[in-house]
Amino acid sequence: MQKDKDIQDIMHYEPTIWAVADYLIAAGIKQSKFPDYMMPFFALVMLEGRMLNEMKLVEEEEGLSRTDNRESFIEAFKDRDCGYNEFIVEKEKTLADICKSDKTFAQDFGQYLDGFDPELKRLLGIGRGTSEQKFLNMDGMKAELEKKGILMSVVSKWAEVDLSGYDNSAITTLEEHIKRRWADISAETAGEQYTPDDIISLIAELIGDNIKKPKDQFVKIYDPACGGANLLYGVADRLRKESGYEHLETFGSDFNDALYALAAIESRFRQDSHIKYGNTLTQLPFRHESFDVIVANPPYGISWKGYEKDIKKDESGQFIALPAVSDGQLLFMQHILWQLSKNGGFAVEVHNGSSLFSGDAGGGESEVRKYAFDNDWVEAIIQMPSDEFFNTGIFTYLWVFNKEKASNRHNKVLLIDASKLWTPMKKSKGSKRRYMSPEQRGRIREAFTKFEDSDISKVFSKYHFYYNKQQLTLTDVDVNGETVKRTLCCENETDKGDVCKITLSEVKLGNEVIKKFVKLGLDDANKLFTRLVCYDYKEKPFVVIDRDGFQYWYNKELRTIIRKDKEGKEEAKGQGAFVFKMSVSKKTGNGNITLQIQPVYQKDYEIIPYVHDGTERFSLSAGEPDANEMAINRFLDEYIFKPYYKRENTLGVELNFNKEFYVAEKIDSLDTITSEIENLNRKLQELEAQL
């Protein structure tokens, strides 16, 4: 069969398809519901066109005539396992034939739908039970259009679309454009799954340049969030046509009923293609497979709260850390790395910017990035132009993973800033106002191949993106930099490190003097203890006297505790806090109140650049600091002026494209600026003289 109709030719059907909307508008159907009514019928014309193609192939390749060898012809067609419709194959009638007579239309269209095989009926939503899933919900849409009296008009318009004579790639291209329009008009159409043609081409080109499998072997390609499979099949078609890979096996899964059905229907007309329905992350439809190539444009900014329990109970080992429940794209990243073949597996995944930097060190997002970097699977990250995708104007990023990097790329990551590599579109499509030309994509491919610094690329050690979050405990000090930890808490042998204990003689609260600390009944002790604990000694006059006659109070201006001896000499002892303690005597039942003077501590942390000199921890002697520990110590000694001690240090990983590719604005020299000012002054003087 000759298939010489090209992609540009098939696109002339797009206006015909969207003319169906006129009938829907006239029937009062909301625009946001158009995809629900149009997807089932697009599936019909897609199936019909492909079945007609297969029928011609049976005649041409197997030499069987529909008239002379009818039974053999039908058997040969069924053996192709591309789906079956008795009305098309045996009665040789199409939608166009059905629509010729309004008297027989209802009966013929019913037989046409009933003629599909059970699996296609399931996907199309024909003859389903009340408890079965709708998928494309043909029964429901047919009933609604009948009720509104426009069923035959709608089917007649669809019947004008003849997709026979076009190959799978061309039909897929038309489908991509139609689904993109659905994405624009309905937020319920999972438009985030749609990837533009130019981005699909770039992804396919990167894969074709770098995949390690010989071209005579099977290459297994997987998309865990395939939607209608435009990215999956788009990459496969380009690898076959442009890179010479003949033996491709495609795998995809999705949880959106309608888009899954479209992908599953198309898979019937492709060799070695497997599309499964369900939640990829929890049901793991291809659990026991590993893949040579993985591509994905998973939904971002979408909550995974609905299946949070299942994710947390996951025992497959695919999740090293869990990101915030508000965004599940980093769950897909882990799933991809888990299913990517260890033997040269290569993956390209589309993300928004939050995957680069969201989350704190030790948090789920940072731990996911660290997991990928620790294993040295991140080969490149490419910043794409804004306004490149159909339903968002934000910057997007391609994460390129490779489980078998070339030796000269070990522990290195290439950043490519392709944000300025775009061409304006003559007519925008939704939010998409820019596209990448083949030449612009070629610059990205060249930068990736060379893997060196250029005007759009920079090579970094992977450790460049690590950082330390060093937890500290700071000891607060007074205006002179002093703390009671040094002056009081270690004065004598009875005190223990951080506490100076004082046996009270009396306390003065303002002008009121409270005595009798020797023997206090429990009730009196409770009342007094409550008063002392609740008293704000930093704001109100407050003096305590110990049994040796020393007086203590807090000086708010100096932020210090003052001690006055019996001779009246005052001495600042540094920043500290009064803490009252009460104990109860087991013998007498009396309450005993004591005072503890303690340092004031603050928890803090410092973000400190990570230093790696190639030394592995296990090669160091016990107790020997590595380069990073020494860098932390130097940083703290230089920038921390309060007494401190180190607590836990956590390594984080984040990326900032703006920082890495920042170019400082050139500032004129002082002489140039001075000269310009003098010129302005002269002009002002001339104007004044003219006035």
Q: What is the DSSP string of 500-539?
A: EEEEEEEEEETTEEE---SSB-HHHHHHHHHHHHH--TTT
The whole-number pLDDT of residue 489 equals: 79
Beta bridge partners of 221: 250, 293
The whole-number pLDDT of residue 538 equals: 84
Each residue of 291-314: pLDDT tens digit? 999 999 998 888 999 999 999 999
The whole-number pLDDT of residue 67 equals: 80
Predicted confidence band at 190 (pLDDT cuts at 50, 70, 90)? very low
Distances (CA, A) of 498 to 501, 543, 552, 600: 10, 21, 18, 10
Distances (CA, A) of 629 to 362, 623, 653: 18, 11, 17
Domain coverage including residue 115? 7-159
Radius of gyration of the chain (CA): 37
Worst-scoring range by mean pLDDT, 180-189, 196-205, 287-296? 180-189
How many whole angstroms separate alpha carbon 110 and alpha carbon 114? 6
How many whole angstroms separate alpha carbon 44 and alpha carbon 136? 11
Q: CB-side exposure of 147: number of CA atoms within 13 Å?
A: 8
How many whole angstroms separate alpha carbon 65 and alpha carbon 68? 5
Each residue of 334-364: pLDDT tens digit? 999 999 999 999 999 999 999 999 999 999 9
Q: Which residue has the higher pLDDT, 521 or 111?
A: 111
Q: Report the residue count for the chain.
A: 691
| 25, 50 contact by CB (below 8 A) | no
> Over 60: is that where the pLDDT of 617 sits?
no
For residue 166, being part of any structural domain is answered with no
Residue ending a domain, among 138, 159, 180, is 159
| 242, 441 contact by CB (below 8 A) | no
| 274, 247 contact by CB (below 8 A) | no
Q: What angle do CA 222, 404, 285 make, to 5 degrees?
A: 25
Q: What angle do CA 57, 63, 66 make, to 5 degrees?
A: 75
The whole-number pLDDT of residue 523 equals: 85
- The DSSP output letter for 188 is G
Q: What is the mean pLDDT of residues 587-600?
A: 88
- The 8 Å CB, 24+ separation contacts for 686-689 are none
The whole-number pLDDT of residue 1 equals: 40
For residue 465, being part of any structural domain is answered with no
Number of domains composing the chain: 2
For residue 221, being part of any structural domain is answered with no
For residue 181, being part of any structural domain is answered with no
Contacts of 494 (CB under 8 A, 6+ apart): 501
For residue 510, being part of any structural domain is answered with yes
The whole-number pLDDT of residue 191 equals: 38
For residue 79, being part of any structural domain is answered with yes
For residue 279, being part of any structural domain is answered with no
Predicted confidence band at 515 (pLDDT cuts at 50, 70, 90)? low
Q: Percentage of the chain surpassing pLDDT 70?
A: 92
Contacts of 383 (CB under 8 A, 6+ apart): 395, 397, 415, 416, 417, 418, 419, 657
> Over 90: is that where the pLDDT of 35 sits?
no
Q: What is the mean pLDDT of residues 148-155?
A: 95
For residue 572, being part of any structural domain is answered with yes
Residue ending a domain, among 100, 124, 159, is 159
Q: Percentage of the chain surpassing pLDDT 90?
A: 60
The whole-number pLDDT of residue 195 equals: 83
Q: What is the mean pLDDT of residues 669-684?
A: 86
Element (H, E) at 88: helix 86-89
> Over 80: is that where the pLDDT of 6 sits?
no
CB atoms within 10 A of CB 672: 10
Predicted confidence band at 505 (pLDDT cuts at 50, 70, 90)? confident
Worst-scoring range by mean pLDDT, 173-177, 211-215, 372-376, 584-588? 173-177
Worst-scoring range by mean pLDDT, 318-322, 461-465, 511-515, 625-629? 511-515
> Over 50: is that where the pLDDT of 187 sits?
no
CB atoms within 10 A of CB 448: 19
Worst-scoring range by mean pLDDT, 192-206, 267-281, 388-402, 439-453? 388-402
φ, ψ at 38 (rounded to 5°): -95, -35
Q: Which residue has the higher pLDDT, 309 or 169?
A: 309
The whole-number pLDDT of residue 184 equals: 64
Q: What is the per-residue burial (b if ≥16 Cβ within 10 Å, else e) of 36-65?
A: bbbbbbbbbbbbbbbbbbbbbbbbeeeebe
Query: pTM for the whole thing?
Result: 0.85
> Over 90: is that where the pLDDT of 165 sits?
no
How many whole angstroms separate alpha carbon 69 and alpha carbon 51? 18
Worst-scoring range by mean pLDDT, 226-230, 372-376, 538-542? 538-542
Q: What is the mean pLDDT of residues 473-493?
A: 85
What is the average pLDDT value for the chain, to the nearest integer? 88
Residue ending a domain, among 143, 159, 175, is 159
What secondary structure, in 3-state letters, does 419-432 show? CCCCEEEEEEECCE
| 99, 105 contact by CB (below 8 A) | yes
Q: Which residue has the higher pLDDT, 429 or 680?
A: 680
Q: Is 591 helix (H, G, I), strand (E, B) or coil?
A: strand
What tokens does 102 get?
A: 């309004």
> Over 50: is that where the pLDDT of 83 sits?
yes
